[in-house]
Amino acid sequence: MPNTKNQLDRLDPLVWKIAAVAVLGSLMGQVDATVVNVSLSSLAVDLHSSLTTIQWVTSGYLLALALMLPLNGWLVGQLGARSLYLWCFPIFTLSSALCGLAWSANSLIGFRVLQGMSGGLMAPLAQMMIVRAAGRHTARVFGYAAIPILLGPLLGPVLAGAILQHASWRWLFLVNVPVGLLGIALAIRFFPKTVPKPGREISTLSASAYFPRGSCSFSTVWTMLANGSA
């Protein structure tokens, strides 16, 4: 009996691989929510824009991220979680590259909105993938997965400070490209194939109950601060 119980409690290593890849995408989205904050004045100078306008680089991202959340369940029902994730991750990576190549404040804001739209879908998709892979061990896996997600908004300014000491603001976005390409390759390798089931996927949004709501609250507060200072 003890051996049987140990076997039931033991998680398949593939579950941890799926969770790690899922968290990577979600973490990138959370880090990018705050990574630009310390460079707004530099962006305004380099792109010949006012600080009021350049603040939409942050606010536009957060607004797009929040607006995409209600569409997640419907899109998963149409495309499947794996397919949608493999669409969002490349779009997020491509939009990061475009942000790094932006030639004006308006182009940067537009690319950030695109980045926020894809990033807004990756967080709930990560939860879905973990729930499906972990099964009855979901709470246990989420206990570990939530840690980097909650640290993401705090790591953004730290990462930005380290990058700006040695490179231009463009590398705040370009650094996502190699990480994103790695994440896409790992997602293709480890994520199980799924078949879209219209009308049933929305229920998987309940997976968000396992995640602490600190990251969502942070985004909400920051949006209010950004709008208030705009």
pLDDT digits (tens, 9 = 90+) for 54-104: 999 999 999 998 888 888 888 888 888 888 888 999 999 999 999 999 999
The span from the CA of 175 to the CA of 179, in Å, is 7
Angle at 66 between CA 87 and CA 164, to 5 degrees: 80
Single pTM value for the model:
0.79
* pLDDT, position 117: 92
Contact 185, 178 (CB under 8 A): no
* Most confident of the following: 7-11, 38-42, 56-60, 208-212: 56-60
**More confident position, 7 or 12:** 12
Backbone Cα Rg of the chain:
18
Q: Contact at 8 Å (CB) between 28 and 121?
A: no
Query: Residue by residue, what is the 3-state secondary structure of 2-58?
Result: HHHHHHHHCCCHHHHHHHHHHHHHHHHHHHHCCCCHHHHHHHHHHCCCCHHHHCHHH
Q: Centre a 10 Å sphere on the Cβ of residue 38 and count the other Cβ atoms it contains.
A: 18
Is the model's pLDDT at 177 over the cut of 70? Answer: yes
Position 9 confidence tier, pLDDT thresholds 50, 70, 90: low
- Helix 81-100 crosses helix 105-134 at what angle (to 10 degrees)? 150
**Low-confidence winner among 24-28, 109-113, 123-127 (lowest mean pLDDT):** 123-127
Structure confidence at residue 101 (pLDDT): 94
Q: Is the pLDDT of residue 202 over 60?
A: no
Query: Higher pLDDT residue, 30 or 134?
Result: 30
